[in-house]
Amino acid sequence: MKKQNKLVIMLKSREFILGLFTLIFFIILFATTNFKTAAGLQAYFRDIAYILVASIAMTILFLTGNTDLSMGTTMGLAGYFAAYVAKLGFEWYIFIPVAIITGLIFAGINGVIVTVFKVPAMVASLALMTIHMGLFTLLPAGGWVENMGPNFTLMGSTNMLTYFPVVFIIALLVFIISVIYMKSSRFSKKIYAVGGNAHASTLAGINPDKTVFITYLIAGALVGIAAVLFYTNKQMVQANSSYGMEMMFITTTVVGGTSVAGGKGNLWGTFVGTFLVALLTRAMIFFGLQDYYSYAFQGVIIIIAVLASAINFSSISKKLFGNNKEVVCCGGNTNEK
């Protein structure tokens, strides 16, 4: 009986329904376009790699009730400095830490503005994004690094079992580590507590500002990794080429069920949301739609996802599956009431 209840809970979950829709759409696109070619699948999984890692960063920020609209430009700066160091002849064990440190620095600045000066996260990160755009023009060669060597491009251009890029495998490992951390660590409980009710978390002995600042640092490190996954398959790195990508990361996070108000969501939802959004982006390319349609489409998806979050899915599922126990997800764990 207990196993049956777990099965029903899984079938009623947002992640399962979203994953089922993604699978159906994947099959349709696979059967009707050139998506089924090795190049098509490699491009899809390569997109998933950097989107997934950056979306994990956005998810944990959302869980605290904060956000980072400068994530795209931070990713561009991290990719640029990594490429610049690689152009000097340094290998991956040097330029990857450079990217991560860059992400840590700029995310840390964001965290200080939010926690110390109490500037709303949206305002602070929007201001930083504008500053980053100005920094791009001050970088050597206008923020371009050309003719990248194999020491930089090997990671991004290597595939395993024909269809799976190495960067995709790395992203999966980052995701698995993140899921384990969010499920078992004490700090992850603080993230949910602060996002759920900052005042109550203070009464429980949690320092909200410290928690938010550390979360920004973790997100910055993840953005640095995402930058490496995005740029290492390119012969030419342009710092501003990741401008605007934060909208995609927000989309995958919201579609996955993470609340913009904080305290509610999990990485599995973000995982499925990433596969769906990346698939929709690929579909638009195969159908010959322009880039500006992609931005409009992402906006529509965000609105739909937010409205869907306001729907009482538990009452709908009771009508479909019977009067079962209500499911409450918190901290990556599934509990019953």
Burial of 292 (0-12, 13-18, 19+ CB in 10 A): exposed
pTM confidence score: 0.89
Residue type, 210: K
Inside any domain, residue 280: yes
- How many whole angstroms separate alpha carbon 100 and alpha carbon 84? 14
Inside any domain, residue 267: yes
Inside any domain, residue 6: no
* Token pair for 27: 């099959």
DSSP 142: G
Inside any domain, residue 77: yes
Inside any domain, residue 5: no
Rg of the chain on CA atoms, in Å: 20
Domain of residue 110, residue span = 15-25+40-336
Helix (H) or strand (E) holding 30: helix 14-32
CATH number at residue 178: 1.10.3470
Domains: count for the chain:
1
Asked whether 333 and 179 are in contact (CB, 8 A), the reply is no
pLDDT in tens, the chain (337 residues): 555 677 777 777 778 888 888 899 899 888 888 888 999 999 999 999 999 999 999 999 999 999 999 999 999 999 999 999 999 999 999 999 999 999 999 999 999 999 999 999 999 999 999 999 999 999 999 899 999 999 999 999 999 999 999 999 999 999 999 999 999 999 999 999 999 999 999 999 999 999 999 999 999 999 999 999 999 999 999 999 999 999 999 999 999 999 989 999 999 999 999 999 999 888 887 777 666 676 777 677 777 776 766 654 445 445 554 554 444 444 444 444 4
Inside any domain, residue 272: yes
- How many whole angstroms separate alpha carbon 194 and alpha carbon 198? 4
Length of the chain, in residues: 337
Instruction: Enumerate residues 6+ apart whose C-beta is below 8 A from 218.
Output: 57, 60
Inside any domain, residue 35: no
Inside any domain, residue 31: no
**CB neighbourhood size of 270 (10 A):** 30
